[in-house]
Amino acid sequence: MPLSLEDLLFEFDNDSVRMVAVRKIPRIETSGLLLEGYEENEEFTVNLWIGRELVESGVARFAEEEIGSQELGRIHYMERIQPLGRLAPLPERFYQRVYLTLSSLRRRARGDLARIEAYNRLVGMFRDIVEGRVRKIVRLASFGASTDQVKNLAPEERRLYEELSSIISSWRSNILRIAGE
């Protein structure tokens, strides 16, 4: 069963991200949550939703977890030049990083036309990347691609590929039974 948007966002928000303390952070303990104290410039790992709160409170920054426009542009270019049956490898945690980048940009862009334009440009590139990869994944799933062909799938894409492969294989088997095969 495909993940709902809520499930996907929950997964991303609870994914670990690397942070850097911009000033000393005292030990914080609440029910079910413990943050050890961190010194200024110390690197640590927390869930994304906690990291956002630390950034908004001004005590930490993300340790290069966001994806820059140049990196996204390079990925966008690579996806466009790949043949239909080939998927270029994506950077590790690509979809999580794009989620972090776009959600941060969206929050910072309120009322700032330059930031809104930058946000819209990144969204357009991301949409192109996703649409191109979905077309390729559907094609691979319908032809029963080899392991070598699907090695560049991100975990989220692998789930889609496996679900589509299963649905297509089952449908194909049932339809071929009509012909007595």
**Domain locations along the chain:** 15-62, 69-178
- Per DSSP, 25 falls in state B
Fold match flag (15-62 vs 69-178): no
Instruction: Using the predicted structure, report yes or no on whether residue 113 has a pLDDT greater than 70.
Output: yes
Average per-residue pLDDT in the chain?
88
Q: In CATH, which of 3.30.70.360, 3.30.460.80, 3.40.50.720, 3.40.5.50 is domain 15-62?
A: 3.40.5.50
pLDDT band at 1 (very low <50, low <70, confident <90, very high): low
pLDDT band at 82 (very low <50, low <70, confident <90, very high): confident
Label residue 123 exposed, middle or buried (CB < 10 Å: 0-12, 13-18, 19+).
middle
Instruction: Using the predicted structure, report yes or no on whether residue 118 has a pLDDT greater than 70.
Output: yes
Q: Which residue has the higher pLDDT, 159 or 32?
A: 159
Distance CA 157, CA 85 (A): 15
Residue 146 neighbours by CB distance under 10 Å: 9
Q: How high is the pLDDT of residue 66?
A: 83
Question: Measured at the alpha carbon of residue 16, what is the angle toward residues 13 and 21, in degrees to the nearest 5?
Answer: 105
Instruction: Using the predicted structure, report yes or no on whether residue 43 has a pLDDT greater than 80.
Output: yes
Residue 17 backbone phi and psi in degrees, to 5 = -130, 150
pLDDT > 70: percent of the chain: 96
- Does the domain at 69-178 match CATH 3.10.20.30? Answer given as no
pTM of the predicted protein model: 0.80
Q: How high is the pLDDT of residue 125?
A: 95
Candidate from 50-54, 83-87, 118-122 with smallest mean pLDDT:
83-87
Q: How high is the pLDDT of residue 91?
A: 93
Instruction: Using the predicted structure, report yes or no on whether residue 130 has a pLDDT greater than 80.
Output: yes
Instruction: Using the predicted structure, report yes or no on whether residue 181 has a pLDDT greater than 70.
Output: no
Distance CA 85, CA 117 (A): 33
Distance CA 140, CA 148 (A): 11
Instruction: Using the predicted structure, report yes or no on whether residue 2 has a pLDDT greater than 90.
Output: no
CA distance readout (Å), 43 to 13, 40, 141, 154: 19, 9, 41, 26
Q: How high is the pLDDT of residue 104?
A: 86
